[in-house]
Structure 1
Amino acid sequence: MKRIVTLFAIIGLIAFSGCTTDDNVDSDTIAEVIDVNNVNFDLNGNGGVRRFGFTLFQGDVVLAYRATGVENGRTVWTQIPETYYYDDGTQYFTYKFNFTDVDFELYLDGFELNTVPANLRTGQKFRIVIVPGTNPSIINKSVNNKVDYSDYYAVIKRYNINDSNVKQLN
């Protein structure tokens, strides 16, 4: 009997010694939200490259939204890419982004970017959301598995994201 108790103690010690809550050491990940304030696009459409401050895990997905107004006291976030058109229906310009595992870039794509009005080119605010691609255990299982990624508030609900303390980048 003494040997069985000792065996269980050793197995328990080995099993629990592998557990950690340090997100920088183990392979789980959490959703992140980053605000990028006061983005100014130059006349060529460059809005700059910014570092996350951490490295994404393989499979993580980055979503970008632009603040486009306020409705009922909540910020309206429009998913990027977001395209503007001339009155005749041809494309004027598009807010776009790309990312690597350590940084992301915001930029404008289109023709005659030097004619984009200053109110659409300067002082822009973006929200970057990193959605974990490798750890489905953080997903709110009570919510339908389908999510409208164009709806910022649906995304944060789906991934249990607390956006009350968002990392700020200027």
Structure 2
Amino acid sequence: MKKVISILVLSFLFFTCEGPQGPPGRDGFDGGLIVSSAFEIEIDFNAANNYEYFESYGFTVYPSDVVMVYISWETDNGQDIWRALPQTTFFNEGALIYNFDFTQDNVRFFLDGDIDFSLLGSEWTQNQVFRVVVIPAENVDGLDLNNYNQVIETLNIQAFKSE
């Protein structure tokens, strides 16, 4: 009898207790996945812009969000191949690294490495196409951020707006 009363009391407490309300979250859509923002941009790197380029998002990026940048590396049978930054290429004169960093306000694309950038041909510095994906922190767990296709599929990104 003591067990039955204990179970009833615990059940009553379990179903009637309520804690304080937590902070409001961001709105999602069916399934709870938070919508990601993404855009594509073409950049020319040169001495005039110090081989770097800053781009504002044009939408809200939260402190907990993660930003990933992918570069159009090559084309195979008409299919673009995207690689996550940073990407390194080695020349006899040194290494070239395509890299990025980000804040809540903008993303910076830049060339890095120990090569003299002025020695690079235009195929390495001009018309470089990047895709930027802002990933809400709620969606990062278990996601291979270096796998472009997995990121795009998981976040259900249908198109990239051009900047």
Q: Specify if TM > 0.5.
A: yes
Q: Give the drift of 1:146.
A: 3.2
Pairwise CA distance, 1:57: 1.1
Match of 2:161 in 1: 167
* 1:101 has 2:97 as partner: no
Find the aligned partners of 1:148 and 1:95 in 2 and give their Cα distance: 20
Partner of 1:19: none
Partner of 1:130: 134
1:18 counterpart residue number:
none
Tell me, in whole angstroms, the C-alpha distance in 1 between the residues paired with 2:37 and 2:79.
Answer: 20
User: 1: distance between equivalents of 2:85 and 2:58?
Assistant: 21
Q: Determine if contact 1:62/1:131 at 8 Å carries over to the other structure.
A: yes
Aligned match of 2:36 in 28, 31, 40?
Answer: 31
1:62 — aligned with what?
Answer: 67
Q: Distance in 2 between matches of 1:92 and 1:45?
A: 17
Map 1:110-149 → 2, pairs under 5 A: 110-111=113-114, 112-133=116-137, 135-136=138-139, 146-149=142-145
Aligned length: 132
1:107, distance to aligned residue in structure 2 (A) = 0.5
TM-score in terms of structure 2 length: 0.71
The unaligned stretches of length 5 or more in structure 1 are: 1-25, 140-144
Question: Which amino acid is the alignment partner of residue 128 of structure 1?
Answer: V
Tell me the residue number matched to 1:79: 84
- Give aligned-pair identity as a percent: 26
After TM superposition, the structure 1 = structure 2 runs for residues 34-45 of structure 1, keeping only pairs within 5 Å, are: 34-37=39-42, 39-43=43-47, 45=50
**2:151 aligned counterpart, secondary structure:** helix
Q: What's the RMSD between the two structures over aligned residues?
A: 2.4
Partner of 1:48, secondary structure, is strand
The amino acid of 2:113's aligned partner reads G
Structure 2 residues without counterparts, runs of 5 or longer: 1-24, 28-33
**Distance (whole Å) between structure 1 residues aligned to residue 144 and residue 94 of structure 2:** 25
- How far, CA to CA, are the matches of 1:73 and 1:118 in structure 2? 22
* Structure 1 CA distance for aligned equivalents of residues 105 and 124 of structure 2: 27
